[in-house]
């Protein structure tokens, strides 16, 4: 019925090992975490969960806070991780809060993720608050600033006509 022929098979090619599997003489390193979607080419600075900082932080770069900060923070982009806590005012173009902030927040885009705790006022162009996030304070929607080179147009004042000189009319009895 079935006839098995003995044809020679080509020599098996070795299969290279997968990068995450250990091989003899090679150690496995921990997988590198995927870069944050907000991390830019400048890199993301991180304050890890076992660190605390007291003072003012400012700069144009990106910062992830997993530790504790007592003081004001002003950066380009800020992510407050679930273990992160900031006690002070925060200003950033992009702000994602997963942890705790006690203080006023100002930004172009502010996101409160479901694990966020924010006690303070928010001033933002765009704001999103996930279900489960805690927020106590006021929200003010800011508007994009008009460039200084183009001041807002004002209506020109109406030209004022000079008052005519009073005319003297003599009336004579008839």
Rounded mean pLDDT, 2-10:
60
The domain locations on the chain are 44-132
> Residue 99's closest CA among 66, 76, 128?
66
- Give CA–CA dist 139/141, Å, rounded: 7
pTM over 0.75: no
The pLDDT tens digits of the residues spanning 39-81 come to: 444 588 999 999 999 999 999 999 999 999 999 999 999 999 9
The pLDDT tens digits of the residues spanning 110-156 come to: 999 999 999 999 999 999 999 999 999 999 998 765 455 555 555 55
- The answer to whether residues 73 and 63 touch, using CB atoms and an 8 Å cutoff, is yes
């Amino acid at each position: 019925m079935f006839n098995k022929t003995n044809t020679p098979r080509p020599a098996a090619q070795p299969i290279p090992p997968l990068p995450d599997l250990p091989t003899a003489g090679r150690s496995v390193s921990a997988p590198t975490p995927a870069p944050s979607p907000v991390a830019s080419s400048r890199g993301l600075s991180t304050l890890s969960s076992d660190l605390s900082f007291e003072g003012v932080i400012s700069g144009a770069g990106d910062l992830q806070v997993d530790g504790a900060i007592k003081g004001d923070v002003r950066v380009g982009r800020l992510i407050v991780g679930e273990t992160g806590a900031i006690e002070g005012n925060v200003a950033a173009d992009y702000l994602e809060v997963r942890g705790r902030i006690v203080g006023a927040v100002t930004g172009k885009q502010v996101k409160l993720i479901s694990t966020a705790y924010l006690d303070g006022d928010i001033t933002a162009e765009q704001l999103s608050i996930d279900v489960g996030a805690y927020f106590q304070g006021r929200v003010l929607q800011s508007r994009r600033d008009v460039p200084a080179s183009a001041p807002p147009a004002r209506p020109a004042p109406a030209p004022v006509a000079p008052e005519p000189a009073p005319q003297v009319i003599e009336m004579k009895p008839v």
